[in-house]
Structure 1
């Protein structure tokens, strides 16, 4: 039995596993295997969404693991999301039912509005969101950290160094005998968030959940926090002139 992630208490009393598998950007067939690998590696939190267009494959993978007896439905925390074009009240229930049908589940554990307009909490060392996280903690709100590895597939502007190539993080990885990604995920977790790293590679899926057997020192957390540059992977700049654009606020 692989070690499981610890859980975090939500303000409704439910527990959410402290690390989940993100499923965005999967090619056909890829996410099915990723979810199965994740379950085998000890993941009990799967994050998906209707707009990812792969909920059927996620559901197929979950059903396979249920039938194998590898895990029970009540042991897996499944999150899905309502897309922007379905916010009208009369569309919410049918859209949710479509997600349930695609996932082949009777219920999801968490159903989010995907973007009320702002993105959810993007959080990584280049955008550590400390003010927002503290704001949420004061109101007993758990923050999900999406793109916790700053989406390595996206080229940074002005020749910036990708997060996973940062020399300070490489030194810390050597110090703790961990990968750079594990150090980053542990940092985001220690900030008080629930990271949902995406990977479709079996080895990385297994590595990404192995962040609960070590702890970054306070000094190292402080040093990583100094890497913050308010860099957003998803700035949604095309909407910056809208009065509803959220990123003009301090958080």
Structure 2
């Protein structure tokens, strides 16, 4: 598995990881074990995915079975939106370490830049009578980051990063940080290539990780059924004629081409799958190279902001939070 060196810790982060969003515990546990057997060493999860316990069980079993060591693995998880305050960082990190059955997290990200109030019994966001989420508008990124730095110093986290933050929000943390962000995880695929944000990250030695690197085909049913999204809002990137043409040139699937494209653009990818065949297929992206001409053709697919799928407006009222990260037309 190829890796990239993180700028401050010099830890090696695998450029391919297993994404686990929308994967229920009973499904993700065997999928993670199988992925590790197939050579994956990078597993990405989050408090909000509600599957940390299952992932922890799979990792523990894999280690107990003598398949590898803890040092071989790179586990990423995230501080949830309901924990976005300095006073809650250690509470959630401790809970997540317990769920994952780990002594430390390889990479801990602030999942989103905005915060919600929550039910302390269920650890779920509070929703007001009008259906809007109860926003904690006092979200203070610097205060949160300082506590995360303490946790890193205490050995509970090896690397710190951000997810879904915009350039201005990242810069504010960089300017105040002792330990600068090492990774930024954002939606990124051929239809939404985030070129300016990537350049900013390169200039600041921040590794970019792409979630939804295939255009998140699995998100369609979720958003249509749960949040009444229009099916037309979801692109068929895997079926694009140009992607199909390039895949034929290399005798690869369109998914493999889209992942390889991002890898060659120096982006870490975390495609989600629970199918053994797809998990294996997604890992077979290091034995071919897309030509410069093909790279340029794929770059032309970028739709800019019109290509964004995840704007978080399914959390009703979130756009009124002062730290909502995206511009709305």
TM range (shorter): over 0.9
1:42 equivalent to 2:42? Answer no
Matched-pair contact (CA < 8 Å) for 1:154–1:233 = no
Distance 2:3 2:327 in 1: 33
1:130 equivalent to 2:195? Answer yes
Task: Tell me the CA shift for residue 160 of structure 1.
Answer: 6.5
Matched-pair contact (CA < 8 Å) for 2:234–2:309 = no
Equivalent residue number for residue 112 of structure 2: 115
Matches within 5 A, 1:6-85: 6-12=2-8, 13-85=10-82
1:95 equivalent to 2:160? Answer no
SS at match of 1:25: coil
Partner residue of 1:175 out of 235, 239, 249: 249
Distance 2:29 2:103 in 1: 19
SS at match of 2:94: helix
Cα RMSD for the two superposed structures: 1.7
Change in Cα spacing, 1:139 to 1:72, as seen in structure 2 (3 Å) is: same
Distance 1:158 1:47 in 2: 28
Task: Tell me the CA shift for residue 11 of structure 1.
Answer: 1.1
Q: Compute the TM-score of the two structures, normalised by the length of structure 1.
A: 0.92
Length, aligned pairs only: 245
1:235 equivalent to 2:314? Answer no
Distance 1:224 1:58 in 2: 34
Q: Which runs of 5+ in 1 are unaligned?
A: none
Change in Cα spacing, 1:90 to 1:154, as seen in structure 2 (3 Å) is: closer
Change in Cα spacing, 1:225 to 1:157, as seen in structure 2 (3 Å) is: farther
- Could you list the per-position Cα deviations for residues 132-186 of structure 1 after superposition, in whole angstroms to 9, with x for gaps in the alignment? 1111001110011111011112447647651111111111111111111000001
Task: Tell me the CA shift for residue 243 of structure 1.
Answer: 4.6
Matches within 5 A, 1:116-195: 116-117=113-114, 119=164, 120-155=185-220, 158=232, 161-195=235-269
Distance 2:322 2:92 in 1: 28
Distance 1:160 1:8 in 2: 31
Q: Compute the TM-score of the two structures, normalised by the length of structure 2.
A: 0.71
Task: Tell me the CA shift for residue 121 of structure 1.
Answer: 1.3
Distance 1:154 1:49 in 2: 16
- Could you list the per-position Cα deviations for residues 86-129 of structure 1 after superposition, in whole angstroms to 9, with x for gaps in the alignment? 12222111210111111111111011111114724111000011
Distance 1:154 1:56 in 2: 23
Distance 1:173 1:158 in 2: 25
Distance 2:263 2:319 in 1: 30
